[in-house]
Chain A
Amino acid sequence: MTLSHPNTALDPWQPPAGYVPVESKLAGVSVFAPAPVVETGPDSHLFQCPRCGASTAYDPGAAGVTCGSCGTQQYFQAEVVGRAAEGTEFTVEVLDREARGWGRERRELHCDACGADLSLAPNDLSATCAFCGSTRVVARAATQDGLRPRFLIPFKIELDACARLAHEWLGRGWMHPAGLAAAAGSAQFKGLYLPFWTFGARVVADWRAEVGYEHSRQVYDSDTKSWRTVTEIKWRWEDGRVTLPIADHLELGTTKVSATLLGRVAAFDLNALAAYDPAFLAGWQAQAYDRPLAAAWENARAYMREAARQACQGQIASAHVRNLSVAADFDAEVWRYILAPVYVAPYWFGGRLFQLMINGQTGAVVGQKPVAWLKVWLAVAALLAPGTLLSLLGLPLLLAAGFGGLLLVLGGSLFLAGLMLSAYLVSQAMQAGAA
């Protein structure tokens, strides 16, 4: 029998705003989905002054793009997201594509200012035209790679401040050659955005170990006919669980810069993370990562599991632990690919080249400093001299007159103290000259 029911009156249907048709796998059903975010616009941004046409660059002092010629400032809306910057999951798809490589090749950019063709290295995200000096930022660069920096820490330290910071840092300390601070004048600082990976995860670690507890008891020794205290360790199996959330663990994304120096300068404040905007890179060099995500994650994981192991041991209320086993389960793993600001500069001193690096956000300076070894050895000699002299005085007195014992002990003690201080001084000097 044929029936009819009162039906809902249907209005002519329009897809929700921003929806586009997508493939339907079934006849008689149409499917609409939110339109994917497609970056439009040119492959690169050319930063030119709207007034005089000269090249413009990001100015950390003004937090905007400034014309180096006429001083015109242009501001843009920077979105500071801080540590809340969205992380990305370790999807199998991304890891597979990254492992196969993204097909990096040198890219050609056309300079609209002078018409020259620029050749861009795979890891360069910005460029300056060698012919007309115009600044250009690859907007969708690395974007064909699939992995692109989505966040960065903007420069806060201005280029002009670098010489002063370097001067102060080089002039600090007594074990360096005189006139070293003046060498800061020869340093040509170059601002660079360098690639970093950040990692976060929650580690749930179940541990099990034999834990030893000391027990003391009195034992009567029949040979000596006296009581003595005997300490024994009683072992028992214990277990526990540690839940360790780890956020924003930083790993280097480049192999082109000294890992030692970069590791020491990389104390960035991630609360300043901002969404990527090509304007931040205008007039600055920027490098894409060349240390793969998987390699950096391997390192970060090693750090996290060790942190978990130490947290497990921290739960154990005894110093005696053996047969420790830990099963660490990683969960909620996320990564970010960010750019961070660094100034690098080589400087000459005494005919030798040394490296200098300044954190572009905090102004912290690290680098190599030549050591005036003569000063160091003189200091070592001064430290060892009192002890040596007192000992040399005390020994003949003791042998000849029999009353130099106190001097000998005092001299020996001073000698030992001087020896320890000397070793510390030498290690500091070696460290300053290294990296």
Chain B
Amino acid sequence: MTAASANAPTEAAWYAPLQPAGCAHCGLVHLVPPERLGQRCPACSGALLTAQPAPVRPEPPELALPFRLTPAQAGAALDGWARGVWLRPAELSGPVLQQRLQPMYVPMWLVDAEVVGAWFTQAGYAYQVASTNENFKSGQWVTQHVHETRTRWEPRAGQVQRAYANVAAPALEDHARLLQRLGQFPLAAAQPYAPSAIQAAAVRVPSLTPEAAWPFARARLDEQVAADLQAAAGAQQLDQMRLTVSYQGQHWTQLLLPVYATAYQDEAGAWHAVHLNAHTGQISGLRRASQRLGWQWTAAIAAVAVVLFILAAALTALGVLLPPIVALGGLLMVLSFVVGLVAPLPAVWAWQFNRPAA
């Protein structure tokens, strides 16, 4: 592998007119088409993208997962997501989110390798033993026969020489967090990389080189080897696994995962990024309620309560002259109290909704 280089050669980034751009808020670097410079960062929306030199590997990705959802489908999904908030800011709406929708790609590594070497483990084999439960009642014993499953541990050793393909490894430090929020992608649907696919998209620049991602890849490889050894030994469990192996013929493939990025501004002026898995439609983002709307609703309901109270007081006063009206006055008085009690709820709800995210 050659050392990473390339300081923003617009035409040289993976055969597409992309150039590195950084975000002053989150510090992440994307490859973007020149016309997207000055737009909000697709990762955090916290600042505008500015041209910035950054090390980019010269090798282009080999695979890319296509966008399965169209922008319209993504917009519909975002609309439903936004409607989940009762008192939402004006910007948290389907049309606004769809209008700001921009495609982006998130990179990851796929590793092929042949594992060659020796192994030793304790293999656990399940077996059944007969046991009994005895119940004494009314002077008699009743026996219930039961079978219990236990594990017999036996040492096993041997050699392994097996090839493993497309073992996933992170290309970003926040890879695990991203996948936790956006869900899994169907890696098998990946297609060969074409520069045209990323021309209009922002692409996260890998922050983990294959060397840095190797421990993760190795752990995943070892997991697959362990699963194979368990199957080979016909065991139900393994324990104390020791591998003395080499990982030969490694081939690293960069795969791009499709994501839609959008953002909205809450009433305090803060920007919130929203991301959508372009394959499954799973959405990740922070939804904020409008505290201002909450207070407005509270004020309106409180005003109704005050009006009801004044009316009730007036009717009660009139009751001196016309006693039957006192009952109506009392009823309105009770109603005004009930409405008064309900009045704080919108403000409290908005506060409560925003609280966990605060």
Contacts and interface: CB of A to CB of B under 8 A. Distances in A.
A221 interface: no
A1 interface: yes
Interface residues of A, number: 44
Interface in A56-113: 89-93, 95
B246 A7 contact: yes
Most buried by B among A1, A19, A30: A1
Contacts of A24: 158, 232-233
A331 B116 CA distance: 44
For chain B, the bracket of interface size reads 35 or more
A10 B244 contact: yes
B133 A2 contact: no
A174 interface: no
Interface in B134-155: 134-137, 141, 143, 147, 150, 154-155
Given A1-B1, A25-B232, A29-B162, A90 B157 contact: no
B268 interface: no
Interface stretch (B97-105, B124-132, B303-311): B124-132
Interface stretch (A271-279, A319-327, A368-376, A390-398): A319-327
B248 A1 contact: no
A29 B156 contact: no
A327 B141 CA distance: 9
A301 B160 contact: no
B233 A34 contact: no
Given A1-B59, A1-B210, A328-B134, A29 B158 contact: yes
Interface in B316-354: none
A423 interface: no
A28 B135 CA distance: 53
A10 B231 contact: no
A305 B133 CA distance: 10
B136 A328 contact: yes
Contacts of A330: 131-134
A30 B247 contact: no
Contacts of B129: 89-92, 333
Nearest to A305: B134
Contacts, number: 136
B227 to A, nearest CB: 10
B133 A26 contact: no
A34 B154 contact: yes
Given A10-B116, A29-B229, A90 B131 contact: yes
B250 A33 contact: no
A272 to B, nearest CB: 29
Given A15-B157, A33-B156, A91-B128, A3 B252 contact: yes
Interface string B236-273: 00000000111111111110000000000000000000
A29 B228 contact: yes
B5 to A, nearest CB: 15
B117 A30 contact: no
B214 interface: yes
A349 B355 CA distance: 103
Interface in A1-33: 1-5, 7-8, 10, 13, 15-16, 19, 23-33
A326 B136 contact: yes
A34 B152 CA distance: 14
Contacts of A336: none
Given A28-B161, A31-B158, A329-B133, A2 B141 contact: no
A17 to B, nearest CB: 11
A5 B214 contact: yes
A255 B246 CA distance: 63
Nearest to A2: B251
A15 B158 contact: yes
A92 B231 contact: no
Given A19-B157, A24-B158, A324-B136, A31 B116 contact: no
A308 B136 CA distance: 10
Nearest to A15: B157
A11 to B, nearest CB: 8
Nearest to A334: B129
Contacts of B229: 29
A309 interface: yes
A10 B246 contact: yes
Given A3-B210, A32-B157, A26 B228 contact: yes
Nearest to B217: A5
A31 B121 CA distance: 11
B130 A90 contact: yes
A1 B253 CA distance: 6
B118 interface: yes
A309 B116 contact: no
Contacts of A33: 154-157
B192 interface: no
Nearest to B130: A90
Given A1-B1, A31-B158, A89 B136 contact: no
A32 B215 CA distance: 29
Most buried by A among B129, B162, B231: B129
Interface string B197-232: 000000000000011001000000000000011011
Contacts of A23: 234
Nearest to B148: A331
B62 to A, nearest CB: 8
A353 B129 CA distance: 47
B338 to A, nearest CB: 50
Nearest to A4: B250
Interface in A149-178: none
Contacts of B73: none
Interface of B: 1, 59, 116-118, 120, 127-137, 141, 143, 147, 150, 154-162, 210-211, 214, 228-229, 231-234, 244-254
Interface of A: 1-5, 7-8, 10, 13, 15-16, 19, 23-34, 89-93, 95, 301-302, 305, 308-309, 324-331, 333
12 contacts: A4-B250, A8-B244, A8-B246, A13-B118, A28-B162, A29-B228, A30-B160, A91-B128, A92-B128, A301-B134, A328-B135, A330-B131
